[in-house]
Structure formats: structure tokens, C-alpha cells
Amino acid sequence: MIKILVKFIGRPYNATNKRHVWIYFDSHDEVTLRDLLNKIEVEIGVRFDVGKEGIIALINGRNAHYMGGLNANLKDLDEVIIASVAGGG
């Protein structure tokens, strides 16, 4: 079993009303960020378009964009943060 800790910050927190959730995968096969986002949509009912709409994902503190984007591999006990990008000027 693979379990991933997912934390929500900013707009994703507002959309889910959850600070964090554990997402479980029954298989020991490869799990990608895309798989995780699909499972979040099924279990929580909220879809996140990472890389669009000002939403980013961090995998163990690293921007998923630089780790393969939606194809980034996840492993047991990884921490994924889904956050909104804030900017100012």
C-alpha cells in the first residue's frame, strides 16, 4: 500500500475545507501526480489543474514542474502540497 500526505494551502484549502488528507493507493506500482490528483477528485470531489489557474504542487518541498509535472513519480509517505500562487507588485 502507498500512502501520500496531501496538504492544501490557499485556494485549495478554501475549496476542500481541509488542511491535509491521507490518500491511499492499494497497489505497489508506480503512482504519479496525475494519479493522485485523479484520486483526490474522486474522494474529495474537487479537481485541481496543477500548472494552470495559479495552482502548483510541491513534492517533498520541490516544485513538481521540475520533477516531471503530472508524470512525476510518488512513493510511499511522500508529502504533496497543493497551493495557490500569490503575487504582488
The verdict on pTM exceeding 0.85 is yes
- DSSP E strands, 10-78: 20-25, 31-32, 55-59, 62-63, 73-74
Ordered per-residue pLDDT tens for the chain, 89 residues: 999 999 999 999 999 999 999 999 997 788 999 999 999 999 999 999 998 879 999 999 999 999 999 999 999 999 999 999 877 66
Distance, in Å, from the CA atom of 34 to the CA atom of 36, rounded to the nearest integer, reads 5
Q: In what order do the strands lie in the sheet with 55-59?
A: 20-25, 2-9, 79-84, 55-59, 62-63
Could you give all domains of the chain from N- to C-terminal order, each with its CATH number?
Answer: 2-84 (3.10.20.30)
